[in-house]
Amino acid sequence: MWEAGKHRNNVTGFLYDLYEMMPQKEFSAFSQEMLDDLVNGLRRRGNSNATINRKLSALSKLLRKASKMGDIGTLPDFSRQKEKAGRIRFLEVGEEDRLFGALRETSDLYYRLCIFLVDTGARLGEALGLRWNDLQGSMATFWITKSGRSRSVHLTTRAREAVAASKGKGLGPFEGIDQQQFRAAWKKAKAQIGLAHDDELVPHVLRHTCASRLVRGGIDIRRVQMWLGHQTLQMTMRYAHLASQDLAVCLPVLERKGVRG
């Protein structure tokens, strides 16, 4: 039901946690009471609402499959727990220059990967899975995505240069990069610029940075959704507060003198 990879490993862990908590390991019906007990148990373990939602999403998918196969009866409503809107960490230009400069001292390839990530908004796995055939002119197409749907984005000048510097090497511009080694270099660069204790400053921040720059630059939220490949607009709305709050631009549209009967 889940393709091999990090996501499948996470789901396996989620389901094992839930299985351990269930007093009844075999059942032909799953009641609202059983669901409530699991939610309460996860809360007692200190799981956040976001973590509870991810675990119950995996369980819901599994039980829906069992229901379609006729192995289980009616299922309860798997309503989502309310999640708090957390602070989104992104890089200002000065921070980017210092961090990328420190990374470049370790590896020019890592430096170019970061340029590509921040200018495309790609996830790390999407960039590492990129192949030369996926690059056509100034466009990059990501086939291996979290949503399972491909998407294409335009490349900035420096992103094209970052890719071109690897031309002729490997199956793709960043193929062969070990994620653990890259993350270790990232951690070292953080320490070098005095941000070792900033726990929010992880490589995924580059995707947040791309999104924040698009929104702050006046790009409408639906285009940002398409650029990032979010499945729902709600995911992209996390960045909406960064948009310009200059509502005066609405006035010319509403002025009666501009309206013709």
On whether the CB atoms of residues 83 and 50 are closer than 8 A, the answer is yes
pLDDT band at 59, cuts 50/70/90? very high
197 is catalytic: no
pLDDT band at 84, cuts 50/70/90? low
Distance separating alpha carbons of residues 152 and 139, to the nearest angstrom? 7
The answer on pLDDT for 259 being more than 60 is no
| Joined tokens for residue 12 | 């396996």
Residue 124: its pLDDT value, please? 92
What residues pair up with 153 in beta bridges, in sequence order? 140
pLDDT band at 235, cuts 50/70/90? confident
Active-site residue (options: 55, 207, 208, 213): 207
239 is catalytic: yes
Active-site residue (options: 204, 216, 222, 223): 204
- What is the tens place of the pLDDT at every residue in 121-155? 999 999 999 999 999 989 999 987 777 789 999 99
- What is the tens place of the pLDDT at every residue in 9-19? 788 888 998 99
Active-site residue (options: 55, 151, 208, 230): 230
pLDDT band at 257, cuts 50/70/90? low
Phi, psi angle pair for 142, to nearest 5°: -100, 115
What is the reported pTM?
Answer: 0.69
| Joined tokens for residue 11 | 């789901």
Residue 192: its pLDDT value, please? 96
pLDDT band at 25, cuts 50/70/90? confident
The answer on pLDDT for 161 being more than 90 is yes
223 is catalytic: no
Please list, in sequence order, all residues whose beta carbon lies within 8 angstroms of the beta carbon of residue 192, skipping any fewer than 6 positions away.
102, 105
pLDDT band at 88, cuts 50/70/90? confident
Q: How many CB atoms lie within 10 A of CB 20?
A: 9
Active-site residue (options: 54, 104, 131, 146): 146
| Joined tokens for residue 22 | 């269930």
222 is catalytic: no
How far from 163 is each of 116, 125, 240, CA to CA, in Å? 8, 16, 30
Spell out the domains of the chain, with CATH numbers in brackets.
6-68 (no CATH), 93-242 (1.10.443.10)
